[in-house]
Structure 1
Amino acid sequence: MATRTQARESVIGLLYAYGLGNEGITKFVDEILEDKKIRNKQKDFALSLFNGTVENLEKIDEEISSHLNQGDLNDIGSVEKSILRLAVYEIVFADLPKAVVINEAIELSKRLASDGAPKFVNGLLDKVTKA
C-alpha cells in the first residue's frame, strides 16, 4: 500500500506536467495514480490534493509570489514550483499539520529538486505559515 509521501510525490509529478502546459493531464489522473500503485485512501488523498491545488492555483501562486524576496514565480524551477504549490495548498486550504507538510516538502525537494531547493522551500513555507 502506498504511503502519503508516495501520494504526494505522484501529485508533484502531476502538477509538474500541468504546470508545463499539459492541462489535459487532468483526464488521466486516475490512470496515472493506478500505474503508480496509489490506491484506496491514498488515491483519494492524492486526488484531493491534486484537484484542490489546481482549483486554487491562482491564489496559491499569489501566496508564493507574495513571499518571494526577489524575482517572481517564473524564476522558480518547475519541480520546486510544483512542490511549493502542493505544500501551500496543504497549509492554506487543506488544514493539515503545518510541520508535517513542511517536512514532507523539504524531504521531497531533497529527492526531486536541485541542491538548493530544500533550503529555499523551507524558508518560503516558513514565511507562509507565519503570514
Structure 2
Amino acid sequence: MATRTQARESVIGLLYAYDLGNTEIAKFVDDILEEKKIRNSQKEFALNLFNGTVKNLNSIDEDIIKHLTQGTLEDVGSVEKSILRLAIYEIQFEKLSKAIVINEAIELAKKLASDGAPKFINAILDQLKKV
C-alpha cells in the first residue's frame, strides 16, 4: 500500500505536467495513480490534493509571489513550483499540520528538485506559516 509521501510525490508529478501545459493530464489522473499503485484511501487523498491545488491555483500562486524575495513566479523551476503549490494548498485549504506539510515538502524537494530547492521551499513556506 502506498504512503502519503508516495501519494504526494505522484501529485507533484501531475502538477509538474500541468504546469508545463499538459492541462489534459486531469483526464488521466485515475490511470496515472493506478499505474503508480496509489489506491484506496491514498488515491482519494491524492485526487483531493491534485484537484484542490488546480482549483485554487490562482490563490496559491499569489501566495508564492507575495513571498518571493527575488525574481518572478516564472523564474521558479517547475518541480519547485509544483512542490510549493501542493504544500501551500495543504497549509491553506486542508486541516493538516503545517509542520508536517513543510517537512514533507522539504524532503520531496531533496528527492525531486535542485540542490538549493529545499532551502528555497522552506523559506517560502516558513514565511507563509507566519501570515
TM-score between the two structures when normalised by the length of structure 2: 0.99
Partner of 1:5: 5
Q: Within 5 Å, give how 1:11-30 maps onto structure 2.
A: 11-30=11-30
* Mapped partners of 2:11, 2:128: distance in 1: 20
Partner of 2:126: 126
3-state SS of 1:96 partner: coil
Partner of 2:41: 41
* Mapped partners of 1:125, 1:95: distance in 2: 16
Per the TM alignment, residue 32 of structure 1 is displaced from its structure 2 partner at its CA by 0.1
Question: Deviations along 1:45-71, whole A, 9 cap, x unmatched?
Answer: 000000000000000000010000111
* Mapped partners of 1:87, 1:123: distance in 2: 13
Runs of 4+ in 1 over 6 A off after TM superposition: none
Per the TM alignment, residue 95 of structure 1 is displaced from its structure 2 partner at its CA by 2.1
* Mapped partners of 2:113, 2:77: distance in 1: 8
Per the TM alignment, residue 2 of structure 1 is displaced from its structure 2 partner at its CA by 0.1
Per the TM alignment, residue 111 of structure 1 is displaced from its structure 2 partner at its CA by 0.3
Question: Deviations along 1:57-89, whole A, 9 cap, x unmatched?
Answer: 000000010000111100000000000000000
What is the identity percentage for the equivalent residue pairs of Structure 1 and Structure 2?
74
Per the TM alignment, residue 98 of structure 1 is displaced from its structure 2 partner at its CA by 0.1
Question: Deviations along 1:18-50, whole A, 9 cap, x unmatched?
Answer: 000000000000000000000000000000000
Note the residue ranges of structure 1 that are not aligned, 5 or more in a row: none
Partner of 1:99: 99
TM-score between the two structures when normalised by the length of structure 1: 0.99
* Mapped partners of 2:73, 2:90: distance in 1: 19
3-state SS of 1:2 partner: coil
Matched residue count = 131
Note the residue ranges of structure 2 that are not aligned, 5 or more in a row: none
